[in-house]
Amino acid sequence: MSIPPLIVRSVRKGWQWQWQRLMTGLGPADDQGNYQRPDSAPMQTSVPEAEDLQERDPNRRPRLLIGRSCPWAHRTWLMVKLRGLESSLEVITAKADHEEGRWRLDPSWLGCTSLLELYRRCGAEPSLRATVPVLVDPGRNEQQQPRLLGNDSTPLTSALNRWPTAPEAPDLAPVSLQERIESWQQLLQPAVNDGVYRCGFARNQSAYDQASAAMADALEEIERSLSKEGPWLCGTTLTLADVRLFPTLIRWEAVYAPLFGCSAKPLWMLPELWKWRQRFMALPGVDATCDAAAWRHDYFGALFPLNPGGIVPQGPKLSTLVNSTIPQP
């Protein structure tokens, strides 16, 4: 028995109205339906002195809190791996609570079982959103109040590039390349890193089309640059520009294309960018930070307005996908 057209139209109208309400909670938009990243009170990012870190008991050294599915946190985790910071900076993985819509700490740390509790324990202002990544100093002893050292991935990657470590650790922001790194930041942050969310959280076709076109243009610009000046975004030197781009592109086929509709420019159509991703994935320690199953579980499982059925799709092994040969035209 078919459903009467009147009922179909009524249900569709009702669902579209409810979808708009749900999306407002998921990600705010402007009057034209363009996604806008929620504002949060800015905070100063700071780096401890090497002597301070050496003098501390290992249990009192700062911790970097991340979420495996979060691309912004992935940037900072990559910095720890690429610069060999594990001896002075422990990484704690928060778990996404899909029911409550927050990050959980299991096991607890500093008596806190959620990231929100930890932010409040550190004296954070109520206007500061409890997000990952976040760098936390527990204090030199139990009498000192813990404090936040930073929670914005862009300045955090810069801070971790200055983090005290072995002399042979790579400098991912050499003075001679800082202008080029910043130039890439100005292009990639809105068009690609935020661009995937502008596509996925667009409220209407026009907003989606605009975001998708800007993203495709940016990817083409990366492709042209790599073909002329590769193998990295700033030439022969791996830099923060590469670190900040990789977490978005490594999630492309697993999450952003199928769930956010980032499908106008498949990465296999960009051979230089495809090879760039292969090179980055092959760097020591990078593979350990990539878990496509966790990404799919959190994105498809948590973003109810985009996937109301809650079905988490399967996908190929990430190494197989990344290292596959691009089909020839």
pLDDT over 80 at 42, yes or no:
no
pTM of the model: 0.95
- Per the model's pLDDT, the better-predicted residue between 252 and 8 turns out to be 252
Give the CATH number of domain 50-161. 3.40.30.10
Q: What are phi and psi of 65, to 5 degrees?
A: -100, 130
pLDDT score at 39: 73
pLDDT score at 46: 87
Tokens of 67: 């979420």
Cis peptide before 4 (omega within 30 of 0): no
Delimit the domains of the chain by residue range: 50-161, 175-322
**Mean pLDDT (whole number) for 184-201:** 97
CATH 1.20.1050.10 fits 175-322, yes or no: yes
pLDDT score at 312: 97
**Mean pLDDT (whole number) for 280-294:** 97
Q: What are phi and psi of 219, to 5 degrees?
A: -65, -40
**Mean pLDDT (whole number) for 11-21:** 82
- Per the model's pLDDT, the better-predicted residue between 45 and 221 turns out to be 221
b/e map 175-187, b = 16+ CB within 10 Å? eebeebbeebbeb
Residue carrying the six token digits 């990430």: 318
pLDDT score at 329: 58
Question: Which of 171, 160, 170, 164 has its CA nearest to residue 87?
Answer: 164
Least confident of 1-10, 59-68, 103-112, 282-291: 1-10
Report which DSSP code applies to 325. P
Rounded Cα gap, residues 185 and 196, in angstroms: 15
Percent of the chain's residues with pLDDT above 70:
98
